[in-house]
Amino acid sequence: MQSISGNRDTFETLVATAGLLAAAGQWERAAVQAQLAARFAWTDHTGYFGHQGLEDVLGKLRYSIAHPLPAAPGKAARRRVVHVATQLYGTGGHTQSIAHWIRQDPDSRHQVVVTRQGSTECPAKIAACLSDPRDLLLLDRRHGGLIKRAAELRRIIALADVVIVHAHPHDVVPSLALGVPGTAPAVYVNHADHVFWQGTSAAALVLCLRESGRDLAVHRRGMDANRCVVANRPLELAPAGAADDSQKSAARTGWGVQDTDFVVVSAAAGSKYDPVGPDSLIDLFRSFLLRRPNARLLVAGPSPTGAWAAAAAATGGRIRAVGRLANISTLLSIADAYVDSFPFASLTSMLEAGAHGLPLVTFRGHPAECAVLGSDTPGLEDLLLAPSTPAGFASALAGLADSDSTRTARGAATRTAILDGHSPSAWRETAERVYAQAALARTAPVATVQTPWGEGPLDRLVGLVQQETGFAGLDAAWADIMPLLGTPQRIKQWAAWRTSPHVGLAQLVPDRSRAWMSDTRRRLIQPS
């Protein structure tokens, strides 16, 4: 793995090449090169969270795209909201967020535009939210590359009142289509607030989901603080009602847990628990167990192998990973408390646990400037137990273990705060505020500003976390964008990278052909 400064040099070379291609009028190749640079910066931390030079290139490309003819006069009966995503999944935070946003804003007409769905099937839950099936549009099913997709997106949004961008950090199509006079204002959802993303020069407004994300956007991403708004994400939380003692006892028996045990649960992707420094959740909890023989930690997400298997053996099964669960409600129903994943937080999972009436603990053992790697959310700061030292972590859990009344009171207050903050009426108020602020922000031009480079504690931790994902490396970035290249360039790059584990024969197939083959395969295997 390269150092942060090494990644910076690679990234800036990629950006410079995109700039040269744009200056030569090779718009499509420049767009693909810009996406390559952003893809690399997303997964291999470069010390940047935004980059003025890349935004300048995107600005040149943005103005190379023809503007659609002015829309016919007249006002639509309902507000038109266009959501833009890179890819939609059966599970996943931003896909769920789009579905919830649409359902909880029935007064607007919504369209969903996907720039690169690829071979993944579009989840039925998105189409089910829309009033007309034609309001779901897949741009990679049409002819043309990134520039044509951006031109088509600009045509689609010609009648929109606002555009909500939920795209992947490296997806340049929304950035090319938006941000010019006459287009609808763009609200970029800051769902990837801990990594690099491009598009700040196209964003009329940035919807930050927590204060730590807003702070980083202002201080490291070059965003104007007046263009950043903090609000809860749209969620649909349907927690189970409180189980009575007999139900809880029966459920605990199924998990091999005694009624007298103090049960702590956690849930997140396995990689979010992989240690990147001196502390890990396993070590933190093992220290607590030494003084609490009746305590247990059950973790949904990680497979019970490796460090988790060793922890289970060393603690007689009192620390146990249970793998991925289709529904974690059964696990939450037996818990006395919930602890957030560490070293990388999982806010949505924590909110779901809190909605079940569990007291919440999130360990903030990172340096203060690394707050974005932890959990914070509007309305919960006074209710989260947020120790910053191993001793404080043990003390927070001990306080909950020793007092049923403390657990019950804090859990009930947490549940009320989460459900009130994420109710449909609360979200409708948030959406109206976002729409109004976007309309005001559209009148002021977005200027690119100098974006600071750094290699401090936050940068080092982000880099270490990224190394655990399996998607890092320049070869992985090339593998992602190869299908977007023209045939000569695609073959050339495939030959250069063919020994990479990320590159296979699939990278030789153009983007649209891959999508067409996948759609055809699905039609053939569907029952008549």
- Between strands 319-321 and 337-339, the pairing is unpaired
DSSP readout, 227-292?
GEEE-PPP----PPPPP-HHHHHHHHHHTT--TT-EEEEEE--GGGGS-SSS--HHHHHHHHHHH-
Residues 6+ apart with CB under 8 A from 307: 280, 282
| Confidence band of 248 (pLDDT split at 50, 70, 90) | confident
Whether pLDDT at 386 is above 90: yes
Q: Does residue 201 fall inside a structural domain?
A: yes
56-76 per-position pLDDT tens digit: 999 999 999 988 765 555 556
Q: Does residue 3 fall inside a structural domain?
A: no
329-349 per-position pLDDT tens digit: 889 999 999 999 998 888 888
**Are residues 259 and 364 both part of a single domain?**
yes
| Confidence band of 447 (pLDDT split at 50, 70, 90) | low
**Are residues 395 and 500 both part of a single domain?**
no
Q: Does residue 58 fall inside a structural domain?
A: no
Q: Does residue 470 fall inside a structural domain?
A: no
448-505 per-position pLDDT tens digit: 677 899 999 999 988 887 876 678 899 999 999 999 999 999 999 999 999 999 999 9
| Confidence band of 233 (pLDDT split at 50, 70, 90) | confident
Q: Does residue 56 fall inside a structural domain?
A: no
Q: Does residue 456 fall inside a structural domain?
A: no
* CATH code, domain with 357: 3.40.50.2000
The pLDDT, as a whole number, for residue 414 is 94
**Are residues 269 and 359 both part of a single domain?**
yes
The pLDDT, as a whole number, for residue 58 is 96
Q: Give the mean pLDDT of the chain.
A: 89
**Are residues 206 and 283 both part of a single domain?**
no
**Are residues 228 and 298 both part of a single domain?**
no
The pLDDT, as a whole number, for residue 445 is 55
The pLDDT, as a whole number, for residue 331 is 92
The pLDDT, as a whole number, for residue 94 is 76
Domain membership of residue 190 as a residue range:
80-236+427-441
**Are residues 285 and 218 both part of a single domain?**
no
Q: What percent of the chain has pLDDT over 90?
A: 61
How far apart, in whole angstroms, are the C-alpha atoms of residue 153 and residue 520? 25
**Are residues 184 and 285 both part of a single domain?**
no
Whether pLDDT at 55 is above 90: yes
Closest-CA residue to 45 (of 276, 363, 375) = 276
**Are residues 388 and 266 both part of a single domain?**
yes
Whether pLDDT at 164 is above 70: yes
**Are residues 399 and 527 both part of a single domain?**
no
Q: Does residue 215 fall inside a structural domain?
A: yes
**Are residues 107 and 209 both part of a single domain?**
yes
Instruction: Give how many domains the chain has, as a whole number.
Output: 3
Whether pLDDT at 276 is above 90: no
**Are residues 180 and 301 both part of a single domain?**
no
**Are residues 328 and 384 both part of a single domain?**
yes
Q: Does residue 262 fall inside a structural domain?
A: yes
| Confidence band of 247 (pLDDT split at 50, 70, 90) | confident
> φ, ψ for residue 346 (rounded to 5)?
-135, 85
The pLDDT, as a whole number, for residue 171 is 98
Whether pLDDT at 241 is above 60: no
